[in-house]
Amino acid sequence: MAQEQKLVLITGATEGVGKQTAIQLAAKGFNIVMMVRNKVRAGLAKAEILAAAPNAQVDYIIVDLTSFKQVRAAAKQFNDKYPKLDVLINNAGLIYPDKKITEDGFELCFQTNHLSHFLLTSLVLDKLRLSKQGRIINLSSEGHKMGKFDPDNFNAEKGYSSIAQYCFTKLCNLYFTYSLAEKLKGTGITVNAVHPGVVRSGFGSDLDKGWLKPIFAISRLFMISNEQGAATSVFLASDPSVAKVTGKYFKNSKETATKGNTHNTTNQQILWDYSVEKTGAFKP
C-alpha cells in the first residue's frame, strides 16, 4: 500500500528560507500549499519546487498578510479545498524601515509577523486536528532576545524603530508558540518555534542602505545559505523523533532553551488576550 502523502501549508514560500523549505519537503514526499502575496513569484516558485520533486502536488493561494480580510478568505479557500492539514509553517515575516499602519489599524510588522499568523493558525486548526499528528512551526529568531514587551507599545505608539519592532514580533512568536502548545496539550498537535539562522537572503533588503549598507555587506560574509536556513523547519516538519515534542524552541535542528522574559506567563496571556480580541481568533 502506498504511503499517504502529507500536506504542508507554508506562508511566504516564494523566496528565501520559505521556498527552500518547500523544495526540501516536496523532495521528502510532502504535497505543498503556499500562501503568498505575488502570483508571478508563486508560479516561478511552483515550477522550481516541481523541478526538484516532479511527483509532488504544488498549489498556491494568494494572500496579503497585512489584511485580516484576505487572511480569512485565504483560509476559507484552503479549508474548502483540502480535507486535512499535516503541517502548518508560519514562515512569512518582514522588517520594515518606516512605521506603517495597515488597513486593520495595526503596525505593519506586528500584524504580518504575529497577528495574521495567529489568525491563520486559528482558522486552519480544525484541519490539523484531522491529521494523524499535526505540527505547527512558527519562525522566530534569536532577535527575540532583544524584544521588549510593552502592552502600551504593540503598534509602536511610543516611537518606531524597525529593528526594535522586528525583535518584539519575534518575542511574540515565542509567546504564541508557548501559549498555543499549552492549550493544545493532549490533542496530538505539536507547536514549536524555529530560529532559521542568519540567512543570506533578500530579507531586510529595505534596510540595506545609508549607514547600514557597510554593516550588511560585512555581515553577509558570515551568513548561511537558504538551504541551511530551511533545515530546522524541515526537521521539525518531517522527523519522527520530534513527533511528540511541543512547546520548544529549535535552532540548528536542536532543542534550545530560551530564558528570562520568554517564559513570562503573564506577558504570554496579555498577548494572547489582545490577539484574540483584535483578530476574533480562537473563540469556541
Residue bearing cell 520594515:
96
Q: Is 178 known to be catalytic?
A: no
Task: Give the cell for residue 155.
Answer: 503598534
Distance CA 186, CA 164 (A): 36
Distance CA 134, CA 30 (A): 13
| Residue from 60, 82, 166, 178 carrying the catalytic annotation | 166
Nearest to 203 by CA among 143, 119, 116, 121: 143
Angle at 251 between CA 183 and CA 194, to 5 degrees: 40
Distance CA 159, CA 262 (A): 23
First to last CA, the chain: 38
Catalytically active residues are 166
